[in-house]
Structure 1
């Protein structure tokens, strides 16, 4: 869906990828009139900024704790080495990569990946530390309190990570939970919504330190690179909303106002949430005449997105799902998990045949100004919208 105005070109935050598959359907899509709408991230905080990286998913995920650390914005050598120790502990315990992302994100929130002492406990024992915390008797990367072990134990990164993973593994179906919920069940923090804002950067750190492991999905019991689709969610927390190939692409020369991509699919195909988040919009988008006529198939030039859903994700990211066949299954304000069914593919609104029009927006901006190309974005999350060549 777009606002009908020539788009203002933005520098894409990720390297554009070529080679999108074409599909038989020649699909046309939305020309609705969504105005600019700015939102903060989940929980009221925006995600930390970090220079985007292109990290291939190698299949060799072993982290080198003692090796040279990559250069990542805002995180120094000692912080990334602590992240490597958290990941390495997870690997030894055979925790899936999704757990590494959750653990790293949690430590980012609790300590910014620094091994913190406590003013009255850690420093009095003369233990090496990377700073001093201020929360009661909490110490270490995860700011664990006395019930988690001795001060020396909690300030040993491997011990602290092991205790976190043990708590995580005790949670039923933890891999299907939103990151912030899984982390909160272990940590019992006073600020339960704060973990979500670190998910994207935590996934990038895991990718950089462990060969693209955050881009893997569990398929038939195996961790497979770049295969997240539907209910199969990548360790990054993202999944392709439907399986299929991109037909009409993002802002092509033929359609410069096309702010998303069209994925052909049969009418009635389930559409899945690309990541966990909160539903912002779930309604019928009026056509060019201002009427809400989404219960019938649309046609080229009709205007509007038909039945559609917008979801706000951590870091101010927004995804949009257009042309559903009937009213969406979710309502405004509802929290949804990655892979949750939002509705079904249809052809309502400005459409020439059944397909999903899918958009990704950044900085909490639902207008065309916030739109970015979903193909490289989703590829970087291990949830490609097209088959890998």
Structure 2
């Protein structure tokens, strides 16, 4: 026997979604707002113009006279510091201005030049180094230190506070301090005690002597 034929659309099953709870919506809104704040905190400072130049001092002991110089092939505005008198190895390296340490570690590789083996193999890059944020998008960098820095990342340092000792780690031919000042993360001419060093481009060898007023 044939079954009767029915016409019309088949019945569909309806699924009901539970509306999100009020708590879930609040949590999602909070997470989204927090993400926006984090991005703003990272991006906005990069868009602001740099603040006024800090009163940087030579990053060496008060009253000492050092030779500052550059040479062809050295990057623009980079400064190499050598003491005029006395042993170079192990001399204190000081913060040029107050700030917060953002890097304290190894740049490249260390090599093998030490006070006991000054003609050892060169390394790569800056060796032991420190970078300090001085606020207003100003920072300083200190390279070729003798040993691990005496400061740690996140540490607040005062002007004239020792951050390491002079050495020849990394790509260095002799014990000295490679020093940079940066504004908005771009290298600029170094200033010390309110006046420019005169070291700008690396198209020729140039040296100048300056006496430190980094007296704390």
> Smaller-chain TM-score range?
0.5 to 0.7
Which secondary structure does the structure 1 equivalent of 2:177 belong to?
Answer: strand
| TM-score in terms of structure 1 length | 0.34
Aligned partner of 1:348 among 155, 166, 169: 169
State the TM-score, normalizing by the size of structure 2: 0.58
Structure having the higher Rg: 2
Greater percentage in helix: 1
1:192-207 to 2 correspondence within 5 Å? 200=52
Aligned partner (choices 187, 191, 195) of residue 371 of structure 1: 187
Unaligned runs of 5+ in 1: 1-38, 50-196, 202-235
Partner of 1:99: none
Shift of 1:237: 4.0
Distance 1:256 1:323, change over 3 A: closer
Q: How far apart, in 2, do the equivalents of 1:275 and 1:240 lie?
A: 9
Q: Which runs of 5+ in 2 are unaligned?
A: 1-40, 198-207, 212-216
**Which one of the candidate residues 151, 155, 158 is aligned to 1:330?**
151
1:284 pairs with one of 89, 99, 106: 106
1:279–1:310: 8 Å Cα contact kept in structure 2?
Answer: yes
Verify the 8 A CA contact 1:272 1:340 in the aligned structure 2.
yes
**Structure-1 separation of matches of 2:119 and 2:148:** 15
Contact 2:108–2:123 at 8 Å: present in 1 too? no
Match of 1:387 among 199, 210, 216: 210
Q: Decide whether the 8 Å contact of 2:111 with 2:171 is kept in 1.
A: no
Q: Which residue of structure 2 aligns with residue 362 of structure 1?
A: 183
Whole-angstrom distance in 2 between the partners of 1:322 and 1:332: 15
1:319 paired residue among 140, 155, 164: 140
Matched residues in 2 for 1:256 and 1:325: separation? 21
Pairs within 5 Å for 1:129-278: 200=52, 237-242=55-60, 243=64, 244-247=66-69, 249=70, 252=71, 254-257=72-75, 259-265=77-83, 266-278=88-100
User: Displacement of 1:238 after TM fit?
Assistant: 2.6
Aligned residues between the structures: 150
Partners of 2:42 and 2:112 in 1: CA distance: 30
Partner secondary structure for residue 350 of structure 1: coil
Structure of greater relative contact order (alpha carbons < 8 Å, 6+ residues apart) = 2
Provide the rounded CA distance (Å) in 1 between the counterparts of 2:124 and 2:79.
16
After superposition, what is the alpha-carbon deviation per residue over 1:60-114, rounded to whole angstroms, capped at 9, x for unaligned? xxxxxxxxxxxxxxxxxxxxxxxxxxxxxxxxxxxxxxxxxxxxxxxxxxxxxxx
Instruction: Give the whole-Å Cα distance in 2 for the aligned partners of 1:47 and 1:299.
Output: 45
Aligned residues: CA RMSD: 3.4
Do structure 1's residue 307 and structure 2's residue 111 form an aligned pair? no
